[in-house]
Amino acid sequence: MKNILLEQEDMYREGQKRRFTEEERKRDLAFWKRKMGYEPPEQYLPADFSRTSPASAPSRTTRSYSFQAAIRQSIETYAKQAQVHSFLVLLTVLKMMMHRYNAEDEIRVAALLSGTISELAPMANPVIVQSFWTGEKSLDKAVREVQEAFAEAREHQSIPLDELASLLGLSQSAGSVPLFRVMLDMSSYGENLTEGNLLANRDDGWHGDVETDLTFRIVESEEEMTLAITYATDLFKEETINRVAGHYFKLLEGALADPAARLFTLPILTDAERKQLLVDWNTAKPAYPRDASMVDLFEEQVKLGPDQIALLFEDQEISYQQLDRRANEIAHRLNNLGIVPEQLVAVCLDRSPDMIASYLGVLKAGGAYVPIDLTYPSERIAYMLEDSAASFVITTERIFAELPRLNATMVFLDQDSLEAKSKADSFPRSSSAVHLAYVMYTSGSTGKPKGVMIDQRGIVRLVKNINYASVGPDETYMNLGAVAFDVSAFEIYGALLNGGRLVILSTNKPSFGEIAQTIQRYKVTSLNVTPDRLNVLLEDHSEALVGLRQVMPGGEALPVWLARKCLMKLPHCRLINLYGPTENAVNTTSYPVKEIAQNETTIPIGRPIATDRLYILDSQLQPVPIGVIGDLYMAGDGVARGYLNRPELTEERFPLDPFSPKAGERMYKSGDLARYRADGHVDFIGRADDQVKIRGCRIELGEIETVVGLFPGVRQSVAGVTKGKDGTAGLVSYVVMNAGASFQQQAIRAFVRDKLPEYMIPTFFVELQEVPVTPVGKIDRKRLPVPTVASNEAHFTAPRNQIEDTLVQIWEQLLDVKPIGVTDNFFHLGGNSLLAMRMFSYMEKTFQKRLAVSSVFQEDTIEKLAKLLTSDEDHAELSKSLVPISPVGTKPPYFCIHGGGGEVLIYGELARGLGQDQPLYGLRYVAGAPEVSVESIARKYIHELREVQPKGPYHLIGFCLGGAIAYEMAQQLLQAGEEIELLAILNYASPALPPLKMQDKIINSFKLLFRLPSDLRKPFVLQKLRFVGKVLKKSVDEASPEDDNVQELVSATRSYRPKPYPGKILLIRAVTNLNPAERLGWQTSPTGLIEEHCMEADHAMILKEPHVGVLRGHLRTHLQRKE
C-alpha cells in the first residue's frame, strides 16, 4: 500500500532549494484561513511561572532523555502493523498528553521532519497539525486522524509559521494567544547518534524563527532514539520538564500496550509521582483525640480552669464553670422533654452567651443543633426549620413571635422553665465523637439551601492538637463569623475546647468601627475574617489590629495584593490563609503566608490539616499531574455525612474514595478547581462551574482581581464576565476606591495592560460604592451590575476649541484610532516614544511652539497638551532636566540619563516593567548653558535629582553617552559623602579610549556580522545603512534642535577624561558593539569592581522589549548582590 505521506516527495525536497510560487502561497493561505481563521484556543501547560510577568526576556535550554529499548521496539512494531510512520505515533501520543493537560477539544501541535528520514521527505517549514479530541478516543483511532491532518497540512506548507498569524489577521501582541505552543521535530540519522546530531544547527531551510514553550525533538539513529525537550526557562523549571518527559514515556508505554484503550484510561503518572500525590503529600499530621467528643473536651477545660474566662460579651465576663452550668441547665431541659441521640434542635437566638450555651447544651443532651441566622429573610428561615424537621426550638418569647408556626417543642430561655440550679452542676454524658454535631445550611444551586451534616469528630480534628494555628489559654478569639457560617464553629470551639477566650459581638452586622473597637477593647489575638472585611480593616482601622497575633482570612480567595498589604501593616502578626468548604468541617487546608515572590499571582491554599487528604482528579477520578488543573476532592475525618434529606445529591457529591484503604469511606467533590505546585502546596483556581473562557482562553478571574487591586487607591477589586447582545463574553472589573481616591478608568486600564496579557484586559471598568455580599459575607456576584457602554463612554469628551480639535486630528492620524476624546490617554491608545516624537514635531510645525517631548509623560491627554500650548508658564518646565517618568513608589528611585539625542522617552519601556513600587526619573538634556561639559551637566543633574531624593543611596543609569554623565555624577556624589548603590553604564565606551579609525570600524563590523546570531544580522546591517543614509542625505534645512543637542553632547563627552572609579560598576555591552576594548575602557581604583554583561541585542534595542526584560533582571540581581 502506498503511504499517503509519500505524495509529492520530490516537491518537498526541492522546497528547501527554491521559493514557493505565489499561486501556492495563495492556495495555502486560503486553506489555513478555513482551518484556523479564528482566535486560537489556549493550550495550557503545567508551567511553574506566570506567563504574564516574566522576570526577563525568554531564554531556552534543553534536556535530553533516552527511549528505553522496549518502548522503541513497541513503536516500530505498532507503526508497522498500523502502516504508519513512527513519527505519526510519536506525534499522536504527544497530542494525547496535551489533551490530558488541557481537557480542550482542539489540540494544535506544530510538526517538522528534518534530517534524513527513510520514506519521508524533509519539510521546508513546520506545519500545525490540528486535531479535535475527546477522552473516548484510542490510539488506533487517533493515529488515523493525525495521519490525515498531518498529510493535509504538509500539502500547504508554503507559508512559514512566523508569518501565518499575521496573514490570518490574528493578534500578534505580547499578550495574545499564539497559534501553538508545542512543536515536535523528528530527525533520523544513519550514523550513530551524537550530541552534535541532536543539538547542532540544522541546514534544512528552517532556522527556528518560531518560538515555542516546548519543543520535542526526537532524533533516531541505528543505535538509539533520544528525546530532547527545549523549553522556556522563564516558564518551566528543570524538574517540571523531567516530569513532562516521564508523562510522555508513560503514555507511550500505555497506549502501545493497549492501542484500543480509551485515552482517559491510560496512565500518565509515573509510579513515583502517583505515590507523591496520593501518599506523601497526604501524610497524617499530629494525632488528635479522635475518640473524644466535643463535650468531653469542653468539660476537660472546665475542670482545668473553672474560673478562667470563657466568654466576653459587652460588660459580662463568663467563666468556664458558669458557661458549663448554663449548658447543663439547657441539657437537662431537653432531656426531660425526651430528646434522643442526634435529634435536631434549632437554635433561634440573638448573638449572646445563651446562644453558645445552647449549642453546648444540645451536644450534652446528645442532640445536634441547627443554627438559624435571624437576619435571613423569613421565607428562608421557614424553609430551614421545615426542611430540618427540628423537634425542638431554643428561643425567646420575643423572637418566637416573629418565627413561622412550627410543629416543634419550644424551649424558652427567658422563662424560669429550665431545670433547678442544683441540677446544673453536671449532666450525664450522652454524646460521642461519631454523633452528629450540627446541621448547617449553605446555598444550593436550585435556590433552596441544603443542610450539611457534620459529626463531632470533624470539629475535634479541626481544633485539637493542630499545628496550623495557635489555640490555647493565651488566645482570645472573636466570634465575627455569621451565626450560620461554618467559620463560627472554628472560632467557638477553637477557643472553648482549648481553654481560650471567646469574644461575642452583640450585633449580627457590626460596622467596621465596632469590629475595630471590640478587637481593641478585649485585646483579641486571633481573627478569622473574610478578605473583603480584612481589606477595609487594614485600610481604615489598622491601628486597632496591632495587637493581633494571627489573622486567618478565609471564605474566599486571598488576593496577592491584600496579603502584601497585611504583611506590611501587621509585620508581627501571623497571616494564615485558610480554605475549606462547609462539607469538610470548616478548614481543609492552611498556608502560612510569609514572603511573597514579586511575580506571584496567587496565594496558595496550602496543604491539608490534621488527617485530611486532598486529591486533584480528572473526570475519571484519576490524579492529574503536578501543575495541571483538576477537580479538588477531600477525604478524612472532616468530611460531612452528606446533605440532609438529599440522598441523590449526597451520592453525587460524596462518592466513594477509591484511594482509601477503608472500604466504604467517602470523599467530597468540592466543585473547586485546583492544581498542585511542585512543593506540594495547592493553588485554588476557582469554581469549576464558573470557569471563564474568553475567545478560547481560560481565564482566572482572581488574577485580574489581584492586578487591579494593586492600583493605588483601589480598596477592593472584583472581576466578572458579561455577555453582549451577540452572545460574546467580555470581562468586567468592578472597583471600589478608597475614601478620597478618584476612579481613573484609563489609568487603571493602562496599569493592568502593563501586567496582564491582552486577552485578560477587562472590556469594562465599573466603579462601585461597595461590593454586594451575601448574608455570610461572601461576594454576591448575582447582584453585580451589568455594565453598559455608558460605563466607558461617560468619560468621552469631544474637542471644545480649535486647538483641541487640531490635536484630535493629529492623534487620529498618528494612532489610527477614531474617535478620540480630549481626556483619552496617549499611551493607552497605542502611543509610544517614536509616535510621541512625531506628534511633537507635528505640533511644533502646526502651532509654531516647541515643547519638551518628555512632557508627554505628564501632559498625556489632548486637554492637558492644549493647556500647555496656550500657557506662558511652560518655559520654566522647558529648562528643567528632571522628568518624572514613573514617580510612584517607596524604593530609592532610578535616575536615568539621556542618550545622544538628549531625550528620555527611551526609558518608558524600562519603567513599565519595574513594578509599582520602583520610581524612575529621567534626566533630559536642555541646551543653552554657557558652559557645556560633562562635569557641568553632571552638577546640574545632581542639583535637580536632590529635589526628589536629598540623600543617598543613589541609583544612576546612563545609556549611550549618558553613561559618561552618570559616571561623573557618581564621582561627584561620592566626593560629597553620598553612597552610590547602582551605577549602570549601558553600551558606552569610556571617552578615555582613542576613537576607532574608520578602517577598523569597517573590519570590526564585518567580523561582528558573522559572529552575530542570525536574527540580529539583518537589523545590524539595516541600522548601519540607515546611519549612512542620514549622513549622506541630511540637508541644512532638515537640521533640528535634537541634532544640535547631539553635537553639543558628543563634543562634551569627547573632551571628558574620567578618573578611576572607587566603587562597583554594572556595565552592559550590546553584542553589536564594535569596540574591542576590555570592559569598554572603563577603569576602577583598587577598591572598585566592574560587573559586565553582554546582551544579545543591538544598541537601540537594549531598552526595548523583549531585551529590556533582561536588563531589568541584571539591575535587580546587581542590587541584590550589593545587599
Q: What is the rounded CA–CA span in Å between residue 604 and residue 632?
A: 14
Highest mean pLDDT among 196-205, 837-846, 972-981: 972-981
Q: Which residues of 504-515 are buried (b: 16+ CB within 10 A; e: fewer)?
A: bbeeeebeeeeb
Cβ neighbour number for residue 413 with a 10 Å cutoff: 23
The percentage of the chain sitting over the pLDDT mark of 70, rounded to a whole number, equals 80
Q: What is the rounded CA–CA span in Å between residue 356 and residue 363?
A: 11
**DSSP per-residue letters across 106-133:** EEEEEEEEEE--SSS---SS-EEEEEE-
Q: What is the rounded CA–CA span in Å between residue 753 and residue 732?
A: 14
Q: Which residue from 626, 688, 634 is spatially nearest to 659, judged by alpha carbons? A: 634
Cis peptide bond N-terminal to 819, omega within 30: yes
Task: Give the cell for residue 220.
Answer: 533516531
757 CB-contact burial (10 Å; exposed 0-12 / middle 13-18 / buried 19+): middle
Is residue 302 pLDDT above 60, yes or no?
yes
Q: Which residue has the higher pLDDT, 792 or 653?
A: 653
Location of C-alpha cell 489609568:
747
Is residue 69 pLDDT above 50, yes or no?
yes
Q: Say if strands 667-676 and 476-479 run parallel, antiparallel, or are unpaired.
A: unpaired
CATH of 879-1123, one of 3.30.70.360, 3.30.70.100, 3.20.20.70, 3.40.50.1820: 3.40.50.1820
Domain with residues 716-794, CATH architecture: 2-Layer Sandwich (3.30)
Q: Please state the rounded mean pLDDT for residues 165-177.
A: 65
Q: What is the rounded CA–CA span in Å between residue 55 and residue 49?
A: 10
Band the pLDDT of 454: cuts 50, 70, 90. very high
Q: Which residue from 786, 866, 796, 791 is spatially nearest to 829, judged by alpha carbons? A: 796
Q: What is the rounded CA–CA span in Å between residue 522 and residue 162?
A: 66
pLDDT in tens, 388-409: 999 999 999 888 888 888 889 9
**For the chain, domain boundaries:** 27-36+62-194+211-268, 716-794, 796-874, 879-1123
Q: What is the rounded CA–CA span in Å between residue 766 and residue 758?
A: 19
pLDDT value for 378: 76
Cis peptide bond N-terminal to 1013, omega within 30: no
Band the pLDDT of 716: cuts 50, 70, 90. very high
Cβ neighbour number for residue 1050 with a 10 Å cutoff: 12
The answer to whether the beta carbons of residues 375 and 351 sit under 8 Å apart is: no
User: What does the radius of gyration of the chain's CA atoms come to, in whole angstroms?
Assistant: 35
Cβ neighbour number for residue 812 with a 10 Å cutoff: 14
Bridge partners of residue 108, in order along the sequence: 130
Q: Please state the rounded mean pLDDT for residues 425-432.
A: 75
Element at 790 (helix H, strand E): helix 789-793
**What's the one-letter identity of residue 351?**
R
pLDDT in tens, 599-620: 788 999 999 998 899 999 998 8
Q: Which residue has the higher pLDDT, 388 or 506?
A: 388
The beta strand positions in 139-279, using DSSP E, are: 182-188, 214-220, 225-232
Is residue 55 pLDDT above 50, yes or no?
no
Where is average pLDDT lowest: 1-10, 829-838, 889-898, 1059-1068? 1-10
Q: Which residue has the higher pLDDT, 994 or 391?
A: 391
Q: Say if strands 106-115 and 127-132 run parallel, antiparallel, or are unpaired.
A: antiparallel
CATH of 796-874, one of 1.10.1200.10, 3.40.50.2300, 3.10.20.740, 3.40.50.300: 1.10.1200.10
pLDDT value for 414: 81
Task: Give the cell for residue 278.
Answer: 496520593
Ramachandran angles phi, psi of 675, nearest 5°: -150, 150
Q: Which residue has the higher pLDDT, 734 or 887?
A: 734
Q: Say if strands 450-455 and 642-643 run parallel, antiparallel, or are unpaired.
A: antiparallel
Look up residue 146 and give its DSSP letter. Answer: H
Q: What is the rounded CA–CA span in Å between residue 916 and residue 887?
A: 10
Q: What is the rounded CA–CA span in Å between residue 362 and residue 367?
A: 5
Q: Which residues of 84-110 are buried (b: 16+ CB within 10 A; e: fewer)?
A: bbbbbbbbbbbbbbbbbbbbbeebbbb
Where is average pLDDT lowest: 581-595, 837-851, 910-924, 1085-1099? 837-851
Ramachandran angles phi, psi of 658, nearest 5°: -70, -10
Q: What is the rounded CA–CA span in Å between residue 392 and residue 414?
A: 16
Per DSSP, helices labelled H in 821-960 are 833-847, 862-870, 875-878, 908-912, 934-948
Q: What is the rounded CA–CA span in Å between residue 229 and residue 240?
A: 11
pLDDT in tens, 139-161: 999 999 999 999 888 888 888 88
What is the spatial order of strands in the sheet that 630-635 belongs to?
Answer: 613-617, 630-635, 667-676, 682-687
CATH of 27-36+62-194+211-268, one of 3.30.559.30, 3.40.50.2300, 3.40.50.1950, 2.60.40.420: 3.30.559.30
pLDDT value for 402: 83
Q: Please state the rounded mean pLDDT for residues 444-473.
A: 87
The answer to whether the beta carbons of residues 456 and 435 sit under 8 Å apart is: yes
pLDDT value for 510: 78
Is residue 791 pLDDT above 60, yes or no?
no
Contacts of 1038 (CB under 8 A, 6+ apart): none
pLDDT in tens, 227-256: 999 998 888 999 999 999 999 999 999 999
Q: Which residue from 776, 258, 268, 877 is spatially nearest to 532, judged by alpha carbons? A: 776
Q: Which residue from 283, 105, 151, 263 is spatially nearest to 696, judged by alpha carbons? A: 105
pLDDT in tens, 1007-1064: 544 454 555 555 555 555 544 444 444 433 333 444 556 678 888 888 899 999 999 9
Q: Which residues of 447-473 are buried (b: 16+ CB within 10 A; e: fewer)?
A: eebbbbbbbbbbbbbbbbebebbbbee
Is residue 630 pLDDT above 80, yes or no?
yes
Q: What is the rounded CA–CA span in Å between residue 968 and residue 985?
A: 11
Q: What is the rounded CA–CA span in Å between residue 742 and residue 243?
A: 48
Helix (H, G, I), strand (E, B) or coil at 471: coil
Helix (H, G, I), strand (E, B) or coil at 429: coil
Q: Which residue has the higher pLDDT, 369 or 905?
A: 369
Q: Which residue has the higher pLDDT, 786 or 997?
A: 786
Q: Which residue has the higher pLDDT, 1009 or 909?
A: 909
Contacts of 1096 (CB under 8 A, 6+ apart): 1013, 1016, 1071, 1107
**What's the one-letter identity of residue 934?**
V
Is residue 789 pLDDT above 50, yes or no?
no
Is residue 958 pLDDT above 90, yes or no?
yes
The beta strand positions in 339-403, using DSSP E, are: 344-347, 368-371, 392-395
Report in angstroms the alpha-carbon separations of 857 from 379, 675, 854, 860, 946: 58, 41, 6, 6, 20
Q: Which residue from 303, 29, 7, 346 is spatially nearest to 159, judged by alpha carbons? A: 29
